[in-house]
Copies of this chain bind each other. A is one copy, B any other.
Amino acid sequence: MITLEAGVSPSTVSRILNGSAPVSAFKRDAVERVLTTRQFQPNALARGLVRGKTLTIGVLTQDIGSPFYGEILRGIEDVLAKTDYFSLIVSGHGNQKDEIAGMALLEARRVDGVIVLNGRLTDEQLLAYSEHLPVVATGRGCTFRNLFSLSIDQFHGAYLAVQHLIELGHTRIAYISGPEDNLDSTQRMRGYQKALMDNSLMYDSNLVVHADFRASGGTLAIHQLLTARRGFTAIFAANDQMAYGASLALYRLNIRVPEDISIVGFDDLPSSEFTMPPLTTVRQPVYQIGELAGKAVLGLIEHQPIQVQPLALNLIVRETTRRIRP
């Protein structure tokens, strides 16, 4: 159509579109005129088919509306925006079945690489995918050839949080954990235990409650903890959202934070700066994780070495923790 109207061959149009070979100014002008008047958009499907490359990076996230994954996606997007690549996001909904379906969808669309954000696929499954597709995964440590993993020391983050509470004089510290099969959550649990141990404090399993990483789970957890009637003066929540829910439950019971009970969260969601009082928490460099993951797939795709910048967790002390009353 374009070719007819401009009186040139398809290859000439292609050459102009891609700048792949010199074209005379005359023909170029003619073609470009038609191109703009017709608002021509080259068919990405046809391109992908012939080039064997779609300039698309698949992203398997867990929850499309989550503030946590949202920030990672933003990091990925910003990195890709500087290139010709583009991200195709599918959600695994935190269950393996959907994750496998999502991966199938990405493969069917012939993405050039995949970023897998945490999730429940096994390392072996990931390795299998990486046989024919560059894969970058967060939250694990199984780098291998075409599979790049980037993990952050969750253990250490938890250790920092609990150490902080202990330094404030707390000795009875409850832990609101995530799902039992969640890797991040169990690593944080170990950090919690280690910090207690290093300070010669007893680990008491009655002070540990498993919840679901959501605010409502935090609320529930408080009720469980309270009915168990084990005294505690501080709470370490495995993520900020559960800390929110826990705070609300305490507020309802007229227990004040931080006067009566201190709380530390994990993640440092953007909103944690604006809770009341602002939440003391462990900051995950979420956006940077996204950026790094983005750069890593590109590196894998283009067979370039991947710059491994260390990602660290930091304790952000705000106003939900305070020295225990004498």
CB-CB < 8 A to A77: which residues of B?
Answer: 64, 91
- CB pair A43–B271 under 8 Å, yes or no, is no
* Chain A positions 143-179 with a Cβ under 8 Å from a chain B Cβ: none
> What residues of B have a CB within 8 angstroms of the CB of A105 in the complex?
86
B271 & A215 in contact (Cβ 8 Å cutoff): yes
- Render A74-95 as a binary contact track against B, CB cut-off 8 A, 1 for contact: 1001000000001011110000
CA distance A215 to B275 in the complex (A): 10
Least CB separation from A101: chain B residue = B81
Query: With the chains together, A70 CA to B274 CA distance in Å?
Result: 20
* Interface segment out of the listed A23-31, A45-53, A183-191, A295-303: A45-53
Interface size on A, residues (CB 8 A): 45
Which B residues are in CB contact (< 8 Å) with A67? 65, 67, 70
- Name the one of B41, B88, B247, B276 contacting A248, with C-beta atoms under 8 angstroms: B276
A247–B277 Cα distance when bound, in Å, is 10
Contacts of A89 in B (CB 8 A): 89
**Among candidates B46, B71, B276, residue contacting A251 with C-beta atoms closer than 8 Å:** B276
Interface stretch among A106-114, A116-124, A201-209? A106-114
Bound complex: CA A71 to CA B64 (Å): 8
Asked if B278 and A104 make an inter-chain contact with CB atoms under 8 angstroms apart, the answer reads no
When the two chains form their complex, are residues A275 and B277 in contact, meaning their CB atoms are under 8 A apart?
Answer: no
Q: Is the CB of B73 within 8 A of A43?
A: no
CA–CA, A44 and B44, complex, Å:
12
With a cutoff of 8 Å between Cβ atoms, the chain B residues found around residue A215 in the complex are 270-271, 273-274
Question: Is A36 on the interface with B (CB-CB < 8 A)?
Answer: no
Which residues of A from 253 to 305 have beta carbons under 8 Å from B?
270-271, 273-278
A54 and B45 contact, CB distance less than 8 A: yes
**A213 in the interface (beta carbon within 8 A):** no
Q: Given the interface contacts A45-B45, A110-B45, does A65 sit within 8 Å of B54 by beta carbon?
A: no
> In the complex, A244→B272 CA distance in Å?
10
Most buried by B among A45, A109, A245, A270: A45
Given known A-B contacts A45-B49, A48-B45, A77-B91, A278 and B107 have beta carbons under 8 A apart = no
- 8 closest Cβ contacts across the A-B interface? A65-B70, A41-B108, A44-B108, A244-B274, A215-B274, A45-B45, A45-B48, A41-B107
24 pairs across A/B with beta carbons < 8 Å?
Answer: A41-B108, A43-B49, A43-B110, A44-B109, A45-B45, A45-B46, A45-B48, A45-B54, A45-B110, A46-B49, A65-B73, A67-B70, A77-B91, A86-B90, A88-B88, A215-B270, A215-B273, A219-B274, A244-B274, A247-B274, A248-B273, A251-B276, A271-B271, A275-B275
